[in-house]
Amino acid sequence: MNTEPPAWENEPLIIPDGNCPHENFQAFVGVPRIMDRDYPNAKPKHFKAEIIIKCVQCGGNFMFKGLPRVISCDEVGTGASGCQASLPIIPWDGTLAGKITVKMP
Ligand SMILES: [Zn+2]
């Protein structure tokens, strides 16, 4: 990978204040382009959406539920803290993705 991480990616994690109502959030989304080779005209081989969510009121980080602790160009996952989601993406090809399963509590 030859992309520089965005500045917010290296910010220290903050445990949310237990008394905060957590009413407003800020989302940080980065899309690293992962090159096949390290030369100037190389095209990206992989793309990922990397997401961090923080409460604006207390500054606390939120964890992603239901994602495995995996770092991969082909699988969804989070890092060790669970506070940064990594979602592999590709340019849309104009087709529909297929059957949708809805799961609600
Ligand atoms: Zn909060």
Residue 77 is inside which H or E element, if any?
A: strand 77-78
Residues 16 and 7: their CA atoms lie apart, in Å, by 21
The mean pLDDT value for 5-17 works out to: 81
The mean pLDDT value for 32-56 works out to: 87
User: Can you give the residue ranges of every domain in the chain?
Assistant: 7-89
Contact 88, 46 (CB under 8 A): yes
CA of 91 to the centre of ligand 1 (A): 35
CA of 11 to the centre of ligand 1 (A): 17
**Confidence grade of residue 3 (pLDDT, cut at 50, 70, 90):** very low
Residues 54 and 25: their CA atoms lie apart, in Å, by 6
**Confidence grade of residue 57 (pLDDT, cut at 50, 70, 90):** very high
pTM of the model: 0.80
Contact 55, 25 (CB under 8 A): yes
Could you give the 3-state DSSP secondary structure of residue 8? helix
CA of 62 to the centre of ligand 1 (A): 9
